Amino acid sequence: MNIRGIMFDLNGTLININTDESYHEIYRFLANLLIYQGIQLSPEELRDLYFRLMKTQRRSSVEQYPEFDVVGIFRDIIEKHGTRYTRSLCYTKAKNLPLFLAEAYRAASLNRLEIYPGVMDTLDDLIKCYKLTAVTDGQSPWALAELRGVGLGIYFPEIIASGDLGYRKPDRRIFDLALRKLRLPADQVVFVGNDMYRDIFGAQQLGMKTVFFRSNQGGQHHQRVNPDYIISYFPELLDALYFFKKNGDM
């Protein structure tokens, strides 16, 4: 079979990102922001409430690899702690407030957002010959904005985000959904990821060829999981594709 599509993980593979959700200033900033929505919570109360609601979402899930919904967390906070003033907000502001708070949370926790060296040039080469798609264990309001922020939105106008599904990698349904978006069978797609279990094992369940990007993030080893090719510098992905072609996979 010829390789006709390439599926990427986002964070740790295309995007070099660092966030710190333990940073106290995140919750001080958000607590101050909530004052203007009529909600009084201390930074400590807000932090504890955020993580408690996240744990509740995951514990109540029937999924093997449960994912949380960050917009749902802030919607619950507003519903449970909103005041008469909160409920008097205009319809448009009230409707968009959970999403706005989720974006503000991510922005306050963000320390680094950049692409790995060589990503843009490599994608420019690949998009001429292959269908491209991306999957991520993350929240789509964050992932889509971050893709645009680093200039990769043009390559991935649509992505598969675990936060929209309620489950995360290595659940095979995420990969299967992305394959359906590509309209390609698994044996015509290469998966590129940075986590040996969630990415490489997950993709291999469906029969995809796999390339492991040894980046500064993700699990580097997992028992009995072996990728078809390993790269340490993103442009080496072109070498991987040549290797598959030389061995009759393309």
Q: Quick one: 173 and 228 in the same domain?
A: yes
DSSP secondary structure of 162-219: GGGTTB-TT-HHHHHHHHHHHT--GGGEEEEES-IIIIIIHHHTTT-EEEEE--SSS-
Same domain, 125 and 231: yes
Write out pLDDT tens, residues 125-138: 999 999 999 999 99
Q: Is the pLDDT of residue 249 over 70?
A: no
Query: Quick one: average pLDDT of 77-98?
Result: 97
Least confident of 48-52, 80-84, 150-154, 216-220: 216-220
Average pLDDT value for residue range 170-176? 97
Residue 43 has pLDDT above 60, yes or no: yes
Percent of the chain residues topping a pLDDT of 70: 99
Domain edge (last residue) among 94, 111, 128: 111
**75 and 119 housed in the same domain:** no
User: With 80 as the cut, is the pLDDT of residue 1 above it?
Assistant: no
Residue 250 has pLDDT above 60, yes or no: no
As for how many domains the chain has, the answer is 2
Cβ 102 vs Cβ 141: under 8 Å = yes
Query: Residue 248 above 90 pLDDT?
Result: no
* Phi, psi for residue 208 in degrees, rounded to 5: -80, 150
Residue 214 is part of a domain; what is its CATH number? 3.40.50.1000
pTM across the whole model: 0.93
Per-residue H/E/C for 47-68? HHHHHHHHHHHHHCCCCCCECC
The pLDDT mean for the chain works out to: 96
The mean pLDDT value for 178-183 works out to 96
- pLDDT reading at 4 higher than 60: yes
The residue range of the domain holding 239 is 5-17+113-246
Query: Could you say which of 111, 143, 173 is where a domain stops?
Result: 111
